[in-house]
Amino acid sequence: MLDANALQANQSLKDAHFSAANWPKSEWWQSFDDAQLNQLIYEAMASSPDLPVVNTLADKANAQVIAADAERYPDVDLNAGITRSRVAKVDDPLLEGKSYSTLRTASVGLSYTFDLWGGKKDAAEAALGQARASELDRQASQLTLAANVTRAWNNLNPAWNNAELAQQNLERAAGIANIQQQHVSAGLTSGLNRSILRWC
């Protein structure tokens, strides 16, 4: 057994470029340059009952990241209001009831909760991890669906070829049977030979 440190993987892989999520291109099937395949995959993605569920879960996880991250920052509240009222005639010292009063209010509030034990930071990081996992689920679902449609499409092509070959064989056999029938009708061969050839 060789020691792992003696394999010098750093030298062997020094020119290789790896990423944390080396993911295929989102529309990798377009490299086949097949318009029918492209249309089939787009239709499958539009009509799949599973993709909307996965997309909703990913969107929800992304929204939770925003909410969890917002908890780490100060809250600023700004309120403003204008109230205009008319004094009733019975309350007016002049008994005219034409007096108006306007009350203008504005308030600013600032609150901040210190994250002394790192709970909010941990919650934000956990939400981010969950969002990344949900995004991977979304991408994996799309890739799986596209791969299944592509696999079915590739399997369909040989089936069409086999069906075409079977049709050609059927036409050839019908031609041979027609020639044999002509020979029997002309008395050039007996019906027995025709039956033997049919079973061969």
At which residue do the structure tokens 């590739």 appear? 154
Please state, for a pLDDT cut of 70, what percent of the chain lies above it. Answer: 78
**Which is nearest to 58 in space by CA: 124, 140, 141, 138?**
138
**Which is nearest to 81 in space by CA: 99, 107, 63?**
107
CA–CA dist 68, 178 (Å, integer): 81
**pLDDT tens for residues 54-71?**
888 888 888 888 888 888
Question: CA separation (Å) from 143 to 29, 35, 129?
Answer: 10, 18, 21
pLDDT at 139 over 80: yes
CA–CA dist 48, 148 (Å, integer): 12
CB distance 41 to 29 below 8 Å: yes
State both tokens at 91.
Answer: 């309350």
Domain extents for the chain? Answer: 31-72+116-200, 74-111
Q: What mean pLDDT, rounded, does the chain reach?
A: 78
**Cβ atoms within 10 Å of 61's Cβ, excluding its own:** 20
Phi and psi at residue 133, to the nearest 5°? -65, -40
Please state the rounded mean pLDDT for residues 76-85: 88
At which residue do the structure tokens 């909760």 appear? 113
**pLDDT tens for residues 82-125?**
988 777 766 666 666 677 778 889 999 888 888 788 888 888 88
DSSP structure class, residue 64 = H
State both tokens at 21.
Answer: 């999520």
At which residue do the structure tokens 């092509």 appear? 157
pLDDT at 1 over 50: no
pLDDT at 33 over 60: yes
pTM of the shown model: 0.50
Rg, the chain, Cα only: 39
Kindly write down the DSSP assignment for every residue of 150-188, as one continuous string: HHHHHHHHHHHHHHHHHHHHHHHHHHHHHHHHHHHHHTS
